[in-house]
Amino acid sequence: MESTRRGFLGSAVALAATFAADSARARWETVTRYPDPAFENLDPSFARHRLDAAAVEHLWTGARRSEGPVWVADGRYLLWSDIPNDRVLCWHETTGTVDEYLKPAGYHDGHTRDREGRVVAREHGGRRIIRVEHDGSVTVLADRFEGKRPNSPNGVVFSPDEKRLYVVEAGVNPRAIRVFDVVDGHTLANDRVFYPCRPGERPDGFRVDVDGNLWCGWGMNPEFDGVRVIDPAGAAIGHIHLPERCANLGFGGERRNRVFMAASKSLYAIYVNAKSASGG
């Protein structure tokens, strides 16, 4: 099935940005004092990543299930998925408005950008990994492995030096974050558990910063929904609390130090003293 990216909807209006009345999100309030208590140090080493005048911002709500944010620096916008509604949404930094970037979208999950600025997406619907070319056409990068189709491909991330590959093992309970050594740039070895999760903990999509810390979308219960930060040694050093389960996140903004968090129905953001190791 061939598809093409639709252009921006020129007449699209900003989508509603008010909270729905469900109990979890109704508890979220804009902070009136700094530092934001949502930014929790689990280890003293995490304190340096806090910006004392930064707070969690609620940018938008209205999705059925948010996923896969990626920052597009040259356009100053963020793309992310609303999977059940089969659309990719676009938040514009200059106006704060949201419109539909692509619909239907093949039920995109995660996104990233390659070194030429092209968007790479994982399609649940097409069970494949695709790249959107600059002219809007789509190139299939992978749709089979050893003759088998992927089943809802999900996220992976490399360490800054690309010598480690991290993977969330989502098919077990409790989940675990695994790590592989990358040998000669193309072979994986020494598979091991990097971060064992407690029952109920649900790591999802993640990114890595320039120091090698993993910033992981996290879900467990209303007390621990948000983003968990894990250092290269496998120790949890920090947590950003949200009133919704965070499925995925991405770094963006002019200095790549604004964390955008796709959480259930909403999009949140916070400035931090950390930068992504890659473009998003």
pLDDT per 10-residue tile (average), the chain, 280 residues: 35 29 48 86 96 94 97 97 97 97 93 93 92 93 92 80 94 90 95 93 94 94 92 98 96 96 98 87
Helix/strand/coil for 65:
coil
Phi, psi of 216 (to 5 degrees): -115, 130
pLDDT of residue 153: 54
Buried b or exposed e, range 75-93, using 16+ CB within 10 angstroms:
eebbbbbbbebbbbbbbeb
pLDDT of residue 222: 85
Angle of CA points 107, 110, 114, to nearest 5°:
120
Tokens of 178: 């695994």
Across the strands, what pairs with 217? 227
Tokens of 191: 């598979």
* Domain range annotation of the chain: 34-271
Tokens of 251: 């770094």
pLDDT of residue 18: 29
Give the pLDDT confidence of 218-247 residue by residue, as tens digits. 998 888 899 999 999 999 999 999 999 999
Give the pLDDT confidence of 60-76 residue by residue, as tens digits. 999 999 999 999 999 99
pLDDT of residue 173: 85
User: pTM score, two decimals?
Assistant: 0.88
Across the strands, what pairs with 195? 177
Q: Taking the alpha carbons of 111, 208, 247, 181 in that order, is the dihedral positive or negative?
A: positive
The whole-angstrom separation of Cα 160 and Cα 5 is 31
Average pLDDT, the chain: 87
pLDDT of residue 279: 60
The whole-angstrom separation of Cα 16 and Cα 98 is 9
The topology under which CATH files domain 34-271 is Neuraminidase (2.120.10)
